[in-house]
Chains A and B, each alone.
Chain A
Amino acid sequence: MTASFAIIAALTLASAVAAMSLRNLVHCVLMLMVTFAGLAVLYLQLGAQFVGFAQILIYIGAVAILIVFAILLTRGSEPPRQSIFSATWVVGVGIAVTVFGLLSAMILSSRAVTREMRPLPEATVRQIGEQLMNKYVLPLEVIGLLLTAALIGAVIIAMHEKEGK
């Protein structure tokens, strides 16, 4: 468990760093796909099969492809001439390091993380489907409405405007 976790975690973190620091945007998205795949493997390791496969389908299959389309539509595939980091990048990295320091100090000093390993809970797709149809039916409807509204809104925002209007 620990060896496989270490390998997957190192791969995921390295690809996340690469996704945030490479010069070519298409390479960034390819590295982002590796990060999403590593996270899906971690979900599978934790016993959440449905979420793992949903991660692969939605993030690698849809979101990453959408980002590639956006990069190609905005001609971002050509590497920029000037620096890829903004003028205030030192402040940004400093804030991120501070946040990580605070979070890890909180995690390591917390008593909630000393729990023992429990037997693997059952989370079959059948159970998830029954819960979605009984207890969580209203959130399911709301998220359907949200996705429809987001789809229509995205199309309207990105639609080509008529000239001279």
Chain B
Amino acid sequence: MTPLALYLLFSALLFSIGLAGALARRNAIIVLIGIELMLNAANLNFIAFWRYGPNPQALTGVMFVIFSIGVAAAEAAVGLALIISIYRHYRTTNLDQMDSMKG
């Protein structure tokens, strides 16, 4: 197996762990952590494809990862602020109890 395939498999496994955590956990903060793990798995894919791609001098993968890290930081800040705001209203971070918009 080539190194690129190993990196891609590792990143697919990390993505699935993050997805399982985001879908199966009850706490909103852990769901956000799962989303961060999925974003990191995607970043690793970009770096692996840049390293083993046909034209690594263009630095495209590295640039995309730098901007992706910036967007992920903004997403984490806004997401945690939303969780704190929801906690003030409902006194819980349990996603199963946040059902006031459920039909």
Contacts and interface: CB of A to CB of B under 8 A. Distances in A.
Interface of A: 1-2, 5, 9, 12-13, 16-17, 19-21, 25, 28-29, 32, 35-36, 39, 42-43, 46-48, 50-51, 54-55, 58-59, 62-63, 66-67, 69-71, 73-74, 76, 80, 83-89, 91-93, 95-97, 99-100, 103-104, 107-108, 112-118, 120-123, 127-128, 131-132, 136, 139, 143, 146-147, 150-151, 153-155, 157-158, 160-161
Interface in B22-46: 22-27, 29-30, 32-34, 36-37, 40, 43-44
B83 A74 contact: yes
A139 B43 CA distance: 17
Contacts of B6: 2, 5, 9
Given A48-B50, A157-B78, A86 B95 contact: yes
Interface in B53-88: 53, 56-57, 59, 62-63, 65-67, 69-78, 80-85, 87-88
A112 to B, nearest CB: 8
Contacts of B80: 66-67, 69-70, 154, 158
Interface residues of B, number: 71
Most buried by B among A96, A117, A139: A96
Contact of A74 (B15, B56, B75, B87): B87
Contacts of B22: 92
Given A43-B47, A118-B52, A143-B71, A87 B96 contact: yes
Most buried by A among B8, B20, B22, B72: B20
Given A20-B25, A59-B69, A121-B56, 20 more contacts: A1-B3, A2-B6, A12-B14, A48-B65, A55-B69, A70-B84, A74-B84, A76-B27, A76-B29, A84-B26, A88-B24, A89-B24, A96-B17, A97-B16, A99-B15, A100-B12, A107-B8, A113-B4, A123-B56, A158-B80
